[in-house]
Amino acid sequence: MTFAAHSAHYLVLTGGLFGVLMMLAPRLVWRGETRAPRTSYERRIADLRYTAEVGMIGTGALLTRPMTTPDPTWSRTTLPLAFTASTAAAGAHAAVGPAHVEESFLVAAFFVVAPVVQLLWALLVVQRPRRTVLVVGAALNAAFIALWAVTRTVGLPFGLLPGVEGVGAWDLFTVTSEAVLVAACAVQLRHDPQQLGSWTHWSPVARGWLVASVLALGLLSVAGSG
């Protein structure tokens, strides 16, 4: 039974992560994104290149290409944080699921459904980071946090759990990831919709969170899922 539970959960995790990587693959390589000129010299060079490209270099006209201003830090941080946090929380839920499979059917079902939902949300937010998607993601993970708080303080009714659950490294990592997701979605909702973009365009904070999540999952996996 335990072997089957481990196999099912890691199958869900592996398949979901493969799906995330396939959806994210076009964004994992640099796609020639244009950096806005930082100096007047760079601006003049960019204008001259654009004028030559459109065939106006010999007419005496200097066309000015509309240049985009550098993206604010929040736009390169919030969506990557939410995406990474959802994927990390899904991995943690899948990893600890087998340890809960003997408690009750509903608890076991939760640890199958939760990682699938979080992975699907990560896939969806990559493709369609709409306000509705962000609201659903924030609300769902806020509910997960509330459920975790209940199980660690008063327990679940109707004998779904044998008692109040202890606080461990796995659940602290999971609830932290979910809290980051909720906060990132809340900030993102205050601004216009943004695409996830290439990882090379992510802010240092977002990249650092990605590295920290991968390292934490690796260390926790080595330590065990008990």
What whole-number percentage of the chain has pLDDT above 90?
Answer: 31
In a shared domain, residues 47 and 152: no
Query: What digits encode the pLDDT tens for the residues 15-65?
Result: 445 544 544 444 443 343 444 555 565 566 666 665 555 455 444 444 444
In a shared domain, residues 8 and 100: yes
In a shared domain, residues 100 and 172: yes
Alpha-carbon distance values, 105 to 100, 170, 197 (Å) = 9, 21, 40
In a shared domain, residues 99 and 8: yes
Task: Assign 5 a pLDDT band (cuts: 50, 70, 90).
Answer: very low
In a shared domain, residues 193 and 139: yes
Query: What digits encode the pLDDT tens for the residues 95-135?
Result: 887 777 777 778 788 888 999 999 999 999 988 888 999 99
Full domain range(s) for residue 151: 2-31+73-223
Mean pLDDT of 127-149: 93
In a shared domain, residues 47 and 158: no
- Separation between Cα atoms, residue 132 and residue 183, nearest integer Å: 16
List all residues 6 or more positions away from 53 whose beta carbon is below 8 Å from its beta carbon.
Answer: none
**Lookup: tokens for 156:** 């679940």
In a shared domain, residues 52 and 106: no
Q: Which of 105, 109, 121, 173 is nearest to 16 (CA)?
A: 121
In a shared domain, residues 44 and 117: no
Higher pLDDT, 26 or 191: 191
pLDDT of amino acid 50: 54
Written as one letter, the residue type at 153 is T
Q: Where are the alpha helices (DSSP H) in the chain?
A: 2-24, 40-53, 78-100, 105-127, 131-153, 169-188, 204-223
Mean pLDDT of 186-207: 83
In a shared domain, residues 92 and 8: yes
Q: Which of 202, 211, 171, 168 is nearest to 184 (CA)?
A: 202
Domain count, the chain: 2
- Separation between Cα atoms, residue 80 and residue 181, nearest integer Å: 10
Alpha-carbon distance values, 118 to 34, 70, 212 (Å) = 33, 31, 19
DSSP 27: G
In a shared domain, residues 55 and 116: no
Last residue of a domain, one of 69, 92, 122: 69
The answer to whether the beta carbons of residues 178 and 141 sit under 8 Å apart is yes
Written as one letter, the residue type at 215 is L
In a shared domain, residues 23 and 45: no
In a shared domain, residues 85 and 139: yes
The answer to whether the beta carbons of residues 123 and 19 sit under 8 Å apart is yes
